[in-house]
Amino acid sequence: MAQITLKGNPVATVGELPAAGTAAPSFTLVNKDLSEANMADFAGKRIVLNIFPSLDTPVCAASVRRFNLEASSIPDTVVLCISADLPFAHKRFCEVEGIENVVSLSVFRSPEFGSDYGVTITDGPLKGILSRAVVIVDKDGKVIHAEQVPEITQEPDYEAALKAMV
């Protein structure tokens, strides 16, 4: 169980992020067009899992914009922006913001994703949604970087994530 904070107040998650060097857990999530996407769909690419509570918060929206600009320009890399928001919210956000370089995915049919990645919040006002984390998976399906952001209202360490990809 990871101990993080929300505006300085302690909050726990269901577990820990997968460790560097381990195989990334497989998943099946829902695209904004309601089709399903799974880990195998991105085989042979470096995968950035930008995991966050909700697109309807400024910090989450900022992380999607930032990864849309930076990480998506790295060759053989796909950025997956993952939250509990419904696919309709993902679609609306991406259309309004002009987000075209990331794959926006919902966990609404797959609660096991949060457990498998250790990011489901287990207490406090955000209980049941995902914490803010970044996991980078290499082309062989191994985790090469994992950051559980310690304070939900803070952005992830983009520089560390980008550095892990090159």
Catalytic residues: 60
What is the C-alpha to C-alpha distance for residues 77 and 61, in angstroms, rounded to an integer? Answer: 20
- Whole-angstrom distance, CA of residue 163 vs CA of residue 149: 17
Burial class (CB in 10 A: 0-12, 13-18, 19+), 149: buried
CA dihedral 138, 139, 142, 143 (to 10 degrees): 20
What Å distances lie between residue 36 and 92, 127, 165, CA to CA? Answer: 18, 25, 26
Strand partners for 83? 106
The owner of tokens 């457990």 is: 115
- Cα-based distances in Å from 51 to 97, 139: 18, 19
